[in-house]
Amino acid sequence: MSRPVQRLYGLLAELTHRCPLHCPYCSNPTALTPRGSELETGEWKRVIEEAAELGVLHVGFSGGEPLQRADLTELVATARQAGLYTNLITSSLGLNDRRVEALKQAGLDSVQISLQSDESTLADRIAGTSAHLRKLDAARLVREAGFPLTINVVLHRENIERLPHLIALAEQLGAERLELANTQYYGWAFKNRTWLLPSRTQIEEASRVADSAKKRLLGKMEVLFVLPDYFSQRPKPCMNGWGRRLLTVNPAGEVLPCPTAKEIGSLRFDSVREKSLRWIWEESDAFNRFRGTEWMPEPCRSCEFREIDFGGCRCQAALITGDASVTDPACSFSPHREKLTQFVELKEREALQRDGNSFVFRAG
Amino acid sequence: MEPFSSELRPRLRARARLQIDKVTGKPALLYPEGVLMLNPTGHAIVSLCGGELTLAEIVASLAERYKVATGQISGEVEEYLNRLRRLNLIELVDLGEGKK
């Protein structure tokens, strides 16, 4: 039982919460940072340099939409000069010839573009704006410039059955990695989970499709399929352990152990405006609270998986049980597991009733 | 996956970058969402994946460098490269393409 401070490997830089899309499962917090409170260019540069000093190897430039920041290219160049592997995590709206070329010159290593579906009617409805065709154009620009491309699709009830078409589209675009990420139900997505949660049948079919694509595309395109917690028996090893490998800096400069940690009301997060990144990583209360295994209650404390899943997700524990320090309710050993299972079953019953209703109301 | 042949040459994909890690001084292979810390033989193998040498040529070069018979290491090198191929970090290219 220890609380060892390990090496920090990855920085997620959420440059802004501004975004042209309006996805109902957005991973940003429900209380967004206004533009006037965003870190300035010089502050971000210092954060990136401090991260490199700490041993960070990867930086993901994310948001919101990071292309909304005019200084993105400058920040990429700073990161690249510090020896970091730089990944742009984008909707791609705002990407044009000129910006692609500037990012190439700055040394950007890789581009990840989100798609909402494989065809524009559904995709644009989910994004809340006309975006899909522009995204396809941007993806082609990215490939033409020689960037390795990752396609990320957040899956939910409305688009999960499009999986075979989504995989085909990613192949056609020349993606080298495809992330099929089932919605994580926090923040915006939690508010919308009634509308978003897929059925068990949909999940099973999608798992089969993803598995077969994974085998077929081995060595060509990496296919990642993340099962939603609500259907899983084991919790995910969230962030590979709290304060263990990764951290997020949000647009206002607060440093978070995971991108959604702001949802945990009982924690206070230090800002890079007041403290060094090293102090926050090594010394701050928020990072030490759930670091290692010492904080764990039962059933985690004596569990053989405690160094594998690290007790799962703190945000989900807080959201479902009101207590961030209990076992993730996604775990089958959690005394709160029923709360997730009941929600899934309720959705299944509602779906059955919907079918029944359409039959009952058939006659005019 | 496609088998190795005398026509095809392993090449590190554009998504992977080999550099020396500042903290440990060891070679690190960086790629989206991941890093592999390489041991000296891994580093030697990856360094030869520029798209110019076939598997047989890579094995011959390593055998000479480490003063061993090619038969002693060829299986190991092939398996190592296949592991990197499964991670989508190495691709096989034709000679013409490899010189690009």
Complete domains list, chain B, with CATH:
10-99 (1.10.10.1150)
pLDDT of residue A364: 34
Shortest alpha-carbon distance between residue B67 and chain A (Å): 31
Confidence of residue A195 (pLDDT cuts 50, 70, 90): confident
Q: What is the pLDDT of residues A222-281, one digit of tens each?
A: 999 988 888 888 999 989 999 999 999 999 999 999 999 998 999 999 999 999 999 999
User: If you average pLDDT over every residue of chain B, what do you get?
Assistant: 92
pLDDT of residue A363: 37
With contact defined as beta carbons under 8 Å apart, do A19 and A66 qualify? no
Q: Is any Cβ of chain B less than 8 angstroms from the Cβ of A335?
A: no
Residue A292 clears pLDDT 60, i.e. is over it: yes
pLDDT of residue A3: 57
Q: Do B91 and A221 touch (CB under 8 A)?
A: no
Residue A176 clears pLDDT 50, i.e. is over it: yes
Which A positions 210-229 lie with beta carbon below 8 A of chain B? 218-222
Spatial CA neighbour of A324 closest among A238, A231, A233: A238
Cα A295 from Cα A117, distance rounded (Å)? 41
Residue A353 clears pLDDT 70, i.e. is over it: no
Structure tokens at A331: 């775990």
* Global ipTM: 0.90
Spatial CA neighbour of A227 closest among A182, A163, A162: A182
Residue A322: burial class (beta carbons within 10 Å; 0-12, 13-18, 19+): exposed
Q: What is the pLDDT of residues A65-76, one digit of tens each?
A: 999 999 999 999
Rg (CA), chain B: 13
With contact defined as beta carbons under 8 Å apart, do A88 and B32 qualify? no
**Cβ neighbour number for residue A237 with a 10 Å cutoff:** 16
Q: Which residue has the higher pLDDT, A205 or A226?
A: A205
Residue in chain B lying closest to A12 (CA): B33
Pairing of strands A85-90, A110-115: parallel
Q: Do A222 and B2 touch (CB under 8 A)?
A: no
pTM > 0.90: yes
Q: What is the pLDDT of residues B52-94, one digit of tens each?
A: 999 999 999 999 999 999 999 999 999 999 999 999 999 999 8
pLDDT of residue B84: 96
pLDDT of residue B7: 86
Rounded mean pLDDT of A277-300? 95
**Cβ neighbour number for residue B71 with a 10 Å cutoff:** 9
Residue A98, SS3 per DSSP:
helix
Using a CB-CB cut-off of 8 Å, the residues of chain A touching B11 are none
Residue A122: burial class (beta carbons within 10 Å; 0-12, 13-18, 19+): middle
Percentage of chain B beyond pLDDT 70 is 95
Spatial CA neighbour of A261 closest among A184, A185, A186: A186
**Cβ neighbour number for residue A216 with a 10 Å cutoff:** 12
Confidence of residue A354 (pLDDT cuts 50, 70, 90): low
Confidence of residue A173 (pLDDT cuts 50, 70, 90): very high
Using a CB-CB cut-off of 8 Å, the residues of chain A touching B30 are 57-58, 85, 109
Task: Compute the count of residue pairs across chains A and B with CB atoms less than 8 Å apart.
Answer: 55
Q: Which residue has the higher pLDDT, A42 or A239?
A: A42
Residue B31 clears pLDDT 60, i.e. is over it: yes
Residues 6+ positions from A61 with CB-CB distance below 8 Å: A13, A15, A72, A75, A76, A79, A86, A87, A88, A89
pLDDT of residue A359: 37
Most confident of A101-110, A224-233, A333-342, B2-11: A101-110
Confidence of residue A356 (pLDDT cuts 50, 70, 90): very low
Residue A362 clears pLDDT 70, i.e. is over it: no
Rounded mean pLDDT of A40-60? 97
With contact defined as beta carbons under 8 Å apart, do A152 and A25 qualify? no
Residue A95 clears pLDDT 90, i.e. is over it: yes
pLDDT of residue A361: 36
Using a CB-CB cut-off of 8 Å, the residues of chain B touching A7 are 23
pLDDT of residue A12: 98
pLDDT of residue B97: 63
Using a CB-CB cut-off of 8 Å, the residues of chain B touching A80 are none
User: If you average pLDDT over every residue of chain A, what do you get?
Assistant: 92
Residue among B2, B11, B15 with most chain A CBs within 10 A, to mutate: B15
With contact defined as beta carbons under 8 Å apart, do B9 and B92 qualify? yes
Residue among A81, A222, A240 with most chain B CBs within 10 A, to mutate: A222
Residue among B13, B29, B88 with most chain A CBs within 10 A, to mutate: B88
Percentage of chain A beyond pLDDT 90 is 82
Distance of CA A237 to the CA centre of its chain: 14
Percentage of chain A beyond pLDDT 70 is 95
By Cβ distance, the residue of A83, A146, A148 closest to B32 is A148
